[in-house]
Structure 1
Amino acid sequence: MSEGVFGALRAQLKEAAAAFADGPGALEGILLGIVDDVDRATREPLEIFPVCHHSPASAIAMARRLRQKQPKVVYLELCEDMAPLLTELRNCTLPVAVQAFATEVDGFPLEWSPLSVVAPITEASAEYQAIAYALDTPGAELVLVDRSSDHVFQWDARRDQPGAPDDEDAALHGDAIGMEIGDLRPRFAELEEHLLHHGKVRHWSEWWHQYVEVPLGDSDHDTYRQVMLLIGSLFRRLAPGDPHRVRVDEDRERYMWTRMREHLAATGTDPADCLYVCGAFHAASRVAEFGVHGADTFEISPRTASKWQHGLIPSSHAAIEAQFGLASGSVSIAAAEWAKNVKRTRVQPFRLAGQAGAKKQAKKLPAAEPQTAPADKLSGFLQRPPVLDRLDEAELLTWSVDIVRAARRNGYLASTADAIAVFETSILLAGMRDRAKPTPYDFQDAAITCIEKDVVPGRRDVRRLVEIMMGGDRIGRVGYESLPPLARDVHDRLAPLNLKLEQRGVQRALLDIAAQPELAHCSDVLWMLHRLMPRGAARPIMGERRLGEQPIQESWDLALGTHQRALIELGYEGVSIEQVLEQRLRTAAYDSRATAASVLEAVEDATLYLRSHRLANELGVRALEVLAAERSVDGAPAVLRRVRRLLAFYRTSEPVLPRWIESFVKTGYAHYCTLLPTAFTDEDATVDQVAAMLGFLFNMEGLALSLGCDRAQLELAFAQSHPEEPEKLALLWAAQVHLGRLSRAELRQRCADLLGNPLVVPTYPRYLSGFLHALEPVPSLVDFAVESVSNAFSRLPDPILLPWLPSLITTLRANGADLAPRLIREAGRVFPSTLAALDEWTPPWRSEPAPALPLRPTRSAELMTTHPDTCNAVANLLGCTGEWGSADPEPRGAELLDQHPATAQALHLLLTGA
């Protein structure tokens, strides 16, 4: 290679390599290779413009170069499928992000869904300057040449790895993959650490601001271009050799150069009239396809069948910093530096016509300046000592006063003395870091040192206050015209509320539906948004939606402007919120992990929000299929609650029950009868689940038997049930009382025996927990539950009673909506209402008479002689002939007792009261 423009620089680097490395070797190869990369890029006929994303220096240099060169074609490193969205930037307030979104994936693992790629755009970015120039300049064309969004995931390393992608905290961007133009950050950790240490800075953003932004802020085009190429080549050659990362970088460069050559061949455009805007890392490329005369050996693979949607979503400085690993506040500081550079250099930036805040620009650009051959500007730049900006005392003083004022508003005890301390400390820190003028980062450190105390009195610390003062976290907004059809439809349907829904923040909406029936449609939209969007986007304050109820008045807190991204992404799934909700309900119901309870929830939502009998019947059939295939009782409580609500709704609103719910009750009855014996003995089945199964069997029994079920199934299930755990044993006893197999007297006697057995007393609270859960399937035992709890409090010793109380409270809290009111009402009925009456009060279960002893023949004779007429009447009813007299009562009395002992005993108790 000829020495060319950079011959002198090569000679100097050879000498430096020999001196520092003690002879030629790897260092010389790296240094000369960097110069070769710069030389190759500058000699390319198609001008390469290297940039760094969100760099004010790049934006200023881009605006200046566009006015000088006035290219006919601008090739931009951005996903080629995002091109149609760029014209919609006119209706937005920056920063925003261009997004590609796919929920229906084909060719990618299902666990990756949804796929999302975002490309954030700020005003202080070189790509925005290129976009604004190309879209508003007659005769200029903008061509996006980077890989498509589909290829982003095709080339993703996760294709070779199991599992889903890792989530990233990217604020408004969610877990989307970010496409960043001009990714300039060293991938060699030791290099970055070395730069930060010797630059006396804390993080990469501060190093870039100090050693790149400031020196290049007002440099000429050749100097800017060669320095950026130098940095890109340096970072590229020192990057670690990750095979996948290197392959993706090089494939992207091959892709872009292939697309540019295709466009040049198709249009016949002269490469001299074009400008290629890309990251400095990709500008210093060494692939064979590099340049307009490069090899045409790269084959672009076809896209998959995934359905991609495109739109604009709001972005923010914080979202950009989080997604691309920048220091907090660095993008806000860059925005402030951009405004300062525009004022200082007097370069007129480009802004899309019609965009919020855009000023009218000249209709015709001045004539393009003649191009000159590039000269060696690197030698002078590398040898020139850093320019020390003089201290701008007025600016620093303004910062110091403003931060103290902001600190006082946020609860800090700051004073004028703190402002002076911040001013002096900023100068001191800048001097310690070998710079005459304090940077915003020096000022931030000084403010934290002088104002920050042990405790932050408000919501924001001093670091955050400095970021806000420097420009704050600007959040973009997508205009109504650029919203997808679904989002515009939502805004139109909520227009009767007379709210500015596009604004950020929370707004209160009051709906008096009784007085304005037309607001019922707004209520429907709000409830669907509440169901579909993140928490806080549409939050009901007053009012609720239940099956069979009509709303009268509602109050809502709306923050659709704050959650604009979520609303826009709903538009990728359909053209109306009804369509999106139906799709989501159907997807949830037919998911491989769906349970009977989750499908019933979808049925309820379809009825509640969409009022769709067709969809409810379809999902109901699906719930029946899922229930029949389940082999566990995990979802029994939810199934019981939802089936009970749906049955109550259909019985009051439909002439006949839907066929699917009748089949569901029949199947559920047989299903839970089959699983009941196993659930009683299974350690994994909780007492809540078993109680819910019993509740389903007892509550649905009448309907199930009328539909053809056999009660013998239930009888057989209980005959096979032999629980050992105290809670489940108590449940079984309660169920036997309900079925008539066990009397209340016998149940009370069993509980008394438990309390009388010292070995069982420690586990008695577990039996009580079972009785409390039994109120779900057998609500008639509420009086017995009150009696059992009262006996426990009166007879259990404190070492057993006190540890049980938290379990009692937990049980009542978990089932408080149903159990607590029943227990309270029953206790109010049983216990005295005044404290004075409590001393003389005797529990009704203790005042009941003791069971009578069996009647003896001698007592029967007494009964016969005392009440002969009554006994004769009873004997006739029971089929005994003859008259009872005083002559021979004993044999006949014995006969009556032998044939009908229970009846005779009951009659004796009734007549004698003993």
Structure 2
Amino acid sequence: MSFESLRTQLNEAATAFSDGPGALEGILLGMVDDVDRAVREPLEIFPVCHHSPASAVAMARRLRDKQPKVIYLELCEDMAPLLTELRNCRLPVAVQAFSSEVDGFPADWAPLSVVAPITEASAEYQAIAYALDTPGVELVLVDRSSDHVFQWQPPETKASAEDALHGDAVGVEIGDLRPRFAELEEHLLHHGKVRHWSEWWHQYVELPLGDSDHDTYRQVMFLIGSLFRRLAPGDPHRVRVDEDRERYMWTRMREHLAASGADPAECLYVCGAFHAASRVAEFGVEGTDGFVISPRSATKWQHGLIPSSHAAIEAQFGLAPGSVSIAATEWAKNLKRTKVKPFQLAGQAGGKKARKQPALPGPVAEPTTADQLSGFLQRPPVLDRLDEAELLGWSVEIVRAARRNGYLASTADAIAVFETSILLAGMRDRARPTPYDFQDAAVTCIEKDVVPGRRDVRRLVEIMMGGDRIGQVGYDALPPLARDVHDRLAPLNLKLQQRGVQRALLDITSQPELEACSNLLWMLRYLLPHASARPIMGERKLGERPIQESWDLALGTHQRSLIELGYEGVSVEQVVEQRLRRSAYDPQATTATVLEAVEDAIRYLHSPRLAGELGTRALEVLSGERTVDGAPEVLKRSRRLLAYYRTNEPVLPQWIESFVRTGYAHYCTLLPTAFTEEEAGVDQVAAMLGFLFSMESLALSLGCDRTQLELAVAQSHPEEPSKVALLWAAQVHLGRLSRAELRARCDELLSNPLSLPSYPRYLSGFVHALDPVPSLVDFVVETMSNAFAHLPDPLLLPWLPSLISTLRSRGAQFVPLLVKEAGRLFPGRLPALDEWVPPWLDEPAPVAVRTRTGQGLALLAAHPETCDAVAALLGCEGSWQAAPGGVALLNRYPDTAVALEALMS
């Protein structure tokens, strides 16, 4: 056997370390069996690690040597049609499967999203570029579909990887290779004298395999995958998913081989090293065929390309910040050192100008099954000599970058970084400092106590090594909706594909054609994150047309959000309509949310048809509501809609008339309960009264009965002081309570020591009553003045903050009325305040009116000037005499007494 010598050595090592055969022997010898099995497979397996420069270089070299006719790639099989669009993008980008409406999965999982990021420094991209640009080569994706990704997900959880660009999408970890055994990773980091896994992989795998031959590369990757697999924790679900993926892929490959008649010797299977060391019965072209692939669910999937970034990939795979940028730098160095010519899609955006690919050499011999591991494992590590020019360039560049970012760095710091990098590398048993050693040295020597700017030194090193490169999807690879958006915004003359913020100025008065751009921007404002389209000047209100607007646009920065809109429809208008319907017909929708959808349908779509449909839905929701929590919002939106229709339509729509009738009866029914329930606050009750009083004239003209409102108010018996004040205001509005009686009740509260502590709450109720009964503004000023005059400081001072917050949050629109009324009543100059008497205290006492003629005559005798004035108006002549004479005068002109009685009654 080719690996017999290695088996013997590992068996002796296991016996020595564990005092006899046992578990360790089983693990070590099992790893050799995994390698032997994978190496002997007729269909060549190419194990990779995602975003590994060593894997990418080995892949490019092997593709030129072997020239396979079929490439099987570990990637979701339903993503295959998208790969040809990669040539229209600037890497890194991610292939995405997206579904906003689920069918067959828990509803709270929506939206579903699966992403597979692709960078130029990855073996997968090399395989894709080779297959797509080489005639006669077929690329077959064999991994589970996006639908199966969620079918195999535990029902109680939804895995996600939070990051800046990929959001809560489930990341497909192509070529993921990291120990799942925490103790093993900790052991490797400790003895490797490194801080994190990315640094360990760079030092002990990337560098040794960078110059190795193909056989050694394969066997080492098989061995690492087997080690991590056998030492993984026994999570039953994770193990089952891993094995089912392997069964799925080998089943798909055997199906393709049988259907196409391809020769396994001319095929190449690219997968993660973790899955290459598989032990399932379906492994290999001669494996069993017992695995049954379940059908896909009824969920409809949309597919597209979205921009990715180095930071997003690092978050998805749990890598250290900056590691993918360092890998990209290492990829460029490997190509220069090894003279390997990488594959690149013709016309690839962001790459070098495509040149004609040179003719590939003839196929070489198949990889050997001879043992290459023994020599590799026994070979001492090669200590690369110090590249002083490279390290010196790094040191000078980081000092220059630090100065630009506010650090007081000097030439001495550059020297210190240079020497410290060498020192740290020596302490970690390596002669040549790695980028991680240099990063630690730069932080130690340059970053002192504080960070003067936005970026710390560690971030500056990451930028210097390549930075967080963000990909871009080209125009031709965008979905139809996104392309339509760019076409319709073309009159703005902006480069919307570029990242960053751009200012758009719209003078619609002089350029009426820009109104279409304005309408589209407001819809994008509604659909996309606010940072993608932010209005600086201008607003969109019901019934108003734009004149001039100014926008900050960042559609290139938020390209993913725009692309995902294309998964929901073919035009922005269609997506807006779908969103509005979804919001209105949601089971948790309230009347306020449906009315908001009606407003948005008018503002963004100018669609009377949709507004009428959603308005009918609002009527249905209102009829079924049994609480008044949303009454303030319903009042505000119904008033706004009513004002819009009255000024812009010849007649009111049928739905809004029905809404007013239903709302009038609905709130009359709930009013007595709302006055007494603790759950209903004073805001809600005031809003109900506001709806009833402001819509009363329209409701009565539509056939409602005012008696219903009067009965509702009569049946209301609140106990909470603020609600009592609201009830009094309602009674004043209905004529059930006079101003004098209301003032007397307030004076009684102020004169009663027991009611003084609750008086501020009565006053808060009066402030809320300004909405339903705005005619009480003078009375509210009066009651507030009396409160400031009579309430003791222990009650007045704690109440002031609540009064201010009430006026700010609920009565902001009435503050100008209160100020105007106070300005009318109070003196305009400070000296006059000392002699000022409030008008409500200066009013004469009311005089009782008597209706009998004799009593009226006595009253006239007591006030002769009134009689003289009335006599002059009537043209009567005469003079006053003694009391009997006066009575005689009145008897002579009885019409005067009758007219006076009529005036006073």
Contact 1:67 1:366 in 2 (8 A): yes
Contact 2:861 2:886 in 1 (8 A): no
Residue 862 (structure 1) aligned with residue 855 (structure 2): no
Residue of structure 2 in register with 1:306 after alignment: 299
Residue of structure 2 in register with 1:880 after alignment: none
Residue of structure 1 in register with 2:378 after alignment: 383
Q: Which amino acid aligns with 1:182?
A: G
| CA-to-aligned-CA distance 1:57-109 (integer Å, 9 cap, x gap) | 11111111111111011100000000000000001000000000011211111
Q: 1:799: how far off?
A: 2.4
| CA-to-aligned-CA distance 1:400-424 (integer Å, 9 cap, x gap) | 2222222222222222222222222
Residue of structure 2 in register with 1:276 after alignment: 269
SS class of match (2:220) = helix
Q: Distance in 1 between matches of 2:385 and 2:180?
A: 34
Residue of structure 2 in register with 1:40 after alignment: 37
Q: 1:200: how far off?
A: 1.3
SS class of match (1:818) = helix
Contact 1:855 1:905 in 2 (8 A): no
Residue of structure 1 in register with 2:180 after alignment: 187
SS class of match (2:165) = helix
Q: 1:5 aligns with which of 2, 19, 37?
A: 2
Q: Distance in 2 between matches of 1:850 and 1:453?
A: 82
Contact 2:161 2:171 in 1 (8 A): no
Q: 1:324: how far off?
A: 2.1
Residues 321-720 of structure 1: pairs in structure 2 closer than 5 A: 321-356=314-349, 357-358=351-352, 359-720=354-715
Contact 2:31 2:226 in 1 (8 A): yes
Residue range with higher mean Cα deviation, 399-408 or 96-105: 399-408
Structure 2 vs 1, CA of residues 779 and 167 (structure 1 numbering), >3 Å: closer, same or farther?
A: farther
Residue range with higher mean Cα deviation, 181-190 or 475-484: 181-190
Q: Which amino acid aligns with 1:824?
A: V
Q: 1:181: how far off?
A: 1.1
Q: 2:24 aligns with which of 27, 30, 45?
A: 27
Q: Distance in 2 between matches of 1:831 and 1:409?
A: 61
Structure 2 vs 1, CA of residues 753 and 372 (structure 1 numbering), >3 Å: closer, same or farther?
A: closer
Q: 1:887: how far off?
A: 9.3
Structure 2 vs 1, CA of residues 872 and 526 (structure 1 numbering), >3 Å: closer, same or farther?
A: closer
Residue of structure 1 in register with 2:797 after alignment: 802
| CA-to-aligned-CA distance 1:429-483 (integer Å, 9 cap, x gap) | 2222211222111111222222223332222122211111111100000000000
Equivalent pairs: percent with the same residue? 79
Residue of structure 2 in register with 1:843 after alignment: 838
Q: 1:209 aligns with which of 202, 206, 231?
A: 202
Contact 1:864 1:871 in 2 (8 A): no
SS class of match (1:277) = strand
SS class of match (2:305) = strand
Contact 1:854 1:905 in 2 (8 A): no
Q: 1:50: how far off?
A: 0.3
Residue of structure 2 in register with 1:912 after alignment: none
Contact 2:849 2:904 in 1 (8 A): no
| CA-to-aligned-CA distance 1:685-736 (integer Å, 9 cap, x gap) | 1111111111000000111111111111111111111111111111111111
Contact 1:865 1:886 in 2 (8 A): no
Contact 2:807 2:815 in 1 (8 A): yes
Structure 2 vs 1, CA of residues 168 and 823 (structure 1 numbering), >3 Å: closer, same or farther?
A: farther
Q: Distance in 1 between matches of 2:80 and 2:363?
A: 27
User: Is there any run of 5+ residues in structure 2 with no aligned partner, and where?
Assistant: 872-882
Q: 1:622: how far off?
A: 0.6
SS class of match (2:576) = helix
Contact 1:75 1:275 in 2 (8 A): yes
Q: Distance in 2 between matches of 1:755 and 1:791?
A: 8
Q: Distance in 2 between matches of 1:453 and 1:675?
A: 67
How many residues are paired up?
884
Residue range with higher mean Cα deviation, 774-783 or 243-252: 774-783
Q: Distance in 1 between matches of 2:428 and 2:826?
A: 80
Q: 1:855: how far off?
A: 6.8
Q: 1:289 aligns with which of 282, 292, 299?
A: 282
Contact 2:214 2:367 in 1 (8 A): no
Contact 2:181 2:232 in 1 (8 A): yes
Residue of structure 1 in register with 2:253 after alignment: 260
Q: 1:838: how far off?
A: 3.7
Q: 1:826: how far off?
A: 2.2
Residue 18 (structure 1) aligned with residue 11 (structure 2): no
Residue of structure 2 in register with 1:877 after alignment: none
Q: Distance in 2 between matches of 1:298 and 1:886?
A: 126
Q: 1:293: how far off?
A: 0.5
Structure 2 vs 1, CA of residues 788 and 407 (structure 1 numbering), >3 Å: closer, same or farther?
A: farther
Residue range with higher mean Cα deviation, 772-781 or 751-760: 751-760
Contact 1:451 1:462 in 2 (8 A): yes
SS class of match (2:303) = strand
Q: Distance in 1 between matches of 2:36 and 2:728?
A: 91
TM-score normalized by structure 2? 0.94
TM-score normalized by structure 1? 0.93
Residue of structure 2 in register with 1:152 after alignment: 149
Residue 108 (structure 1) aligned with residue 101 (structure 2): no
Q: Distance in 2 between matches of 1:889 and 1:247?
A: 116
Contact 2:176 2:317 in 1 (8 A): no
| CA-to-aligned-CA distance 1:128-165 (integer Å, 9 cap, x gap) | 000000000111111000000001000111x2x2xx63
Q: Distance in 2 between matches of 1:341 and 1:870?
A: 117
Residue range with higher mean Cα deviation, 166-175 or 275-284: 166-175
Structure 2 vs 1, CA of residues 711 and 7 (structure 1 numbering), >3 Å: closer, same or farther?
A: same
SS class of match (1:5) = coil
Q: Which amino acid aligns with 1:76?
A: L
SS class of match (1:511) = strand
Contact 1:38 1:229 in 2 (8 A): yes
Q: 2:313 aligns with which of 297, 313, 320?
A: 320
Contact 2:215 2:367 in 1 (8 A): no
Q: Distance in 2 between matches of 1:905 and 1:284?
A: 111
Q: Distance in 2 between matches of 1:762 and 1:482?
A: 70
Q: Distance in 2 between matches of 1:221 and 1:23?
A: 36
User: Is there any run of 5+ residues in structure 1 with no aligned partner, and where?
Assistant: 875-884, 909-914
Residue range with higher mean Cα deviation, 483-492 or 777-786: 777-786
Q: Distance in 1 between matches of 2:273 and 2:13?
A: 25
Residue 72 (structure 1) aligned with residue 69 (structure 2): yes
Q: Distance in 2 between matches of 1:673 and 1:754?
A: 29
| CA-to-aligned-CA distance 1:238-281 (integer Å, 9 cap, x gap) | 11111111111001000000100111111111101000000000
